[in-house]
Amino acid sequence: MEGPEQPLTRAGARAWAVAQVAARGDDPARLVEVEHDALSDSEHSGGYAHRHGRVLYVALRDGSFGTHLDPGDEPGRAALLDRVLERARLRNRTLRPTELGVHQQAVLAALRGGVRRVAALPERERPGVGPVELPGAEWLLMTLRRASPTGAPTAQEALRTLAGSDELLAPPDPGAVRAHPCPLCRGLAPWTERYPAAVCADCGATTRCRHHRLVAGRNTSWNGGFEAVHRDDGSVCDDATAGGGVTVAGLPCRMGEARFGGVVVEAVAQLPDPRDDLAVLGAARTRADLVAEVTGLPAPPLPSWAGGPVADGDVAAHLAHLTDHLLAAAASAWCRDHPGPGQLGDLPREPAVRRGLALLVDPALAP
State how far the Cα of 262 lies from the Cα of 217, in Å rounded to an integer.
8
Q: Is residue 88 predicted with pLDDT exceeding 90?
A: no
Of 36-50, 178-192, 194-208, which range is least confident? 36-50
Query: What is the pTM assigned to this prediction?
Result: 0.78
Q: What is the DSSP secondary-structure string of 180-235?
A: EE-TTT--EEE--SS-TTBPPHHHHTT-B-TTS-BEEEE-SBTTB--EEEETTT--
146 touches 329 (CB < 8 A): no
Domain residue extents for the chain: 10-91, 97-180, 198-267, 277-365
Q: Is residue 287 predicted with pLDDT exceeding 80?
A: yes
State how far the Cα of 198 lies from the Cα of 88, in Å rounded to an integer.
31
132 touches 346 (CB < 8 A): no
In a 3-state reduction of DSSP, which class is residue 103?
A: helix
Does residue 360 or residue 93 have the better pLDDT? 360
**Segment 278-287 mean pLDDT:** 96
Model pLDDT, residue 91 = 77
Q: How confident is the model at residue 267 (pLDDT cuts 50, 70, 90)?
A: very high
Query: What mean pLDDT is reported for the chain?
Result: 91
Q: Is residue 175 predicted with pLDDT exceeding 90?
A: no
State how far the Cα of 272 lies from the Cα of 270, in Å rounded to an integer.
7
Tens digits of residue pLDDT in 1-54: 689 998 999 999 999 999 999 988 889 999 999 999 888 766 666 899 999 999
Tens digits of residue pLDDT in 121-138: 999 999 999 999 999 999
**Segment 68-87 mean pLDDT:** 93
Model pLDDT, residue 205 = 93
Q: Is residue 184 predicted with pLDDT exceeding 70?
A: yes
Tens digits of residue pLDDT in 236-265: 999 999 999 999 999 999 999 998 778 999
Q: How far is CA 192 from CA 184, 199, 359, in A?
A: 17, 12, 11
Model pLDDT, residue 25 = 87
